[in-house]
């Protein structure tokens, strides 16, 4: 295992963090939030796959507190070099393949990134952390950002997921994230690596790639295209505004207990069809369509294989230990989100590349109306 000695004179860790996947949806929001809230430097390692977009970080162009490096978390030599060069006090690990539909079509990529990539990152982190002097070893953290989907599905009326729930993943994406959770836990219990894990509910907000439900409905609604809803649309999710998620991660990073898991939720359980109609109503208000209400575009399509019916997060541990609660209600957060997409048409247009359109055709083009 490679290791790094302290810098000249055993200098302390720099006021820097390493963020993986920081050009993705949640990662980009986190970097904006982190720099604004702390003023600390964020080294951003991102492979810039289909969902990574540097335009989401354009406001930080030229800001020395944002250091972008294009690369893969599976490239251990690169990660080791970055750790040795920048000497971060923490790693915040967002990098992941994260779309269930894509995992169904191509599970191998999810195993490679989410499982193997996390393993390589953990080993690089262990090699960096192990030889640090005592105070720096005690200060360092590895924060792993995961999902509620690792817990499986809930029946109507069943209590929400707590941190004590077993991992029972049902999709290739969820299984790959569950595996990464287990690796992080094992590296703490076996090697002592100071880790903390967060499992969040469905995020929404600015900079989300329009393959996910909320931005897809906004973008298609504005274009007068069908709004595809899987099956009966009664799949229930808990919805978390992304900037609330970012504030929760900051709290857990600074004050969370080593080795613990914290669920992060928005306390907003809603069925998908209600989300779609809420977006239609907001578009009717903010960008009326002469052809009529946007609800006319709702189109029920065949459900995806193994679609979980309900997720729900119990975030009371995070509130009890760290005093965190979301600042946004769903009503305030979804209005901000729709407004952001209306005000950022250039960003939306630029992410709708040929590869994105090909993906939409692959995932939705063959589905018959339900």
Angle 36-73-56 from CA coordinates, rounded to 5°: 35
Q: Tokens at residue 144, please? A: 């792993």
How is the chain split among helix, strand and coil, in percent rounded to 5? 50, 15, 35
Q: Of the listed 46, 101, 120, 149, which one is catalytic?
A: 149
231: left (phi over 0), alpha (psi -120 to 50) or beta: left
Q: Tokens at residue 360, please? A: 């939409």
Rounded to an integer, what distance in angstroms lies between the CA atom of residue 88 and that of residue 134? 15
Rounded to an integer, what distance in angstroms lies between the CA atom of residue 362 and that of residue 343? 29
Distances (CA, A) of 310 to 55, 152, 163, 191: 33, 9, 17, 36
Rounded to an integer, what distance in angstroms lies between the CA atom of residue 98 and that of residue 256? 25
* Residue 314 is a catalytic residue: no
* Residue 149 is a catalytic residue: yes
Q: Of the listed 120, 148, 181, 211, which one is catalytic?
A: 148
Q: What pairing do the DSSP bridges indicate for beta strands 66-70 and 41-46? A: parallel
* Residue 148 is a catalytic residue: yes
Q: Of the listed 4, 128, 151, 173, which one is catalytic?
A: 173
Residue 117's φ and ψ, nearest 5 degrees, are: -60, -45
Which of helix, strand or coil describes residue 229? strand
Catalytic residue positions? Answer: 148-149, 173
């Amino acid at each position: 295992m490679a290791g790094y000695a302290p810098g000249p004179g055993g200098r302390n860790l720099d006021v820097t963090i390493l963020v993986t996947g920081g050009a993705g949806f949640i990662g980009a929001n986190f970097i904006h939030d982190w720099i604004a809230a702390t003023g600390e430097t964020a080294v951003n390692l991102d492979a810039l796959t289909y969902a990574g977009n540097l335009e989401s970080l354009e406001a930080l162009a030229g800001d020395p507190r944002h250091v972008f490096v294009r690369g893969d978390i599976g490239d251990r030599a690169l990660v080791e070099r970055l750790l040795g060069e920048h000497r971060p006090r923490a790693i915040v690990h967002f990098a992941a393949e994260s779309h269930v539909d894509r995992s169904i079509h191509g599970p191998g990529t999810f195993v490679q990134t989410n499982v193997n990539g996390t393993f390589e990152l953990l080993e690089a982190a262990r090699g960096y952390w192990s030889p640090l002097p005592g105070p720096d070893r005690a200060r360092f953290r590895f924060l792993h950002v995961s999902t509620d989907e690792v817990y499986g599905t809930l029946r109507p009326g069943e209590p929400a997921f707590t941190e004590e729930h077993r991992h029972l993943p049902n999709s290739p994406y969820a299984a790959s994230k569950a595996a990464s959770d287990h690796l992080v836990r094992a590296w703490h219990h076996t090697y002592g690596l100071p880790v903390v894990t967060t499992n969040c509910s469905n995020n929404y907000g600015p900079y989300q790639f329009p393959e996910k439900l909320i931005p897809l409905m906004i973008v298609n609604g504005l274009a007068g295209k069908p709004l595809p809803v899987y099956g009966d649309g009664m799949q229930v999710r808990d919805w978390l505004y992304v900037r609330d998620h970012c504030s929760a991660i900051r709290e857990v990073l600074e004050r969370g207990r080593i080795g613990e898991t914290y669920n992060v939720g928005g306390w907003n359980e809603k069925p998908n069809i209600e989300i779609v109609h809420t977006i239609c109503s907001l578009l009717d208000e903010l960008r009326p369509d002469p052809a009529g209400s946007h609800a006319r575009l709702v189109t029920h399509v065949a459900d995806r294989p193994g679609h979980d019916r309900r997720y729900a997060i119990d975030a009371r541990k995070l509130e009890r230990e760290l005093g965190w609660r979301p600042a946004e209600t769903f009503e305030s957060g979804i209005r901000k989100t729709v407004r952001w997409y209306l005000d950022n048409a250039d960003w939306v247009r630029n992410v709708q590349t040929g590869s994105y359109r090909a993906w939409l055709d692959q995932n939705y083009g063959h589905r018959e109306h339900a």
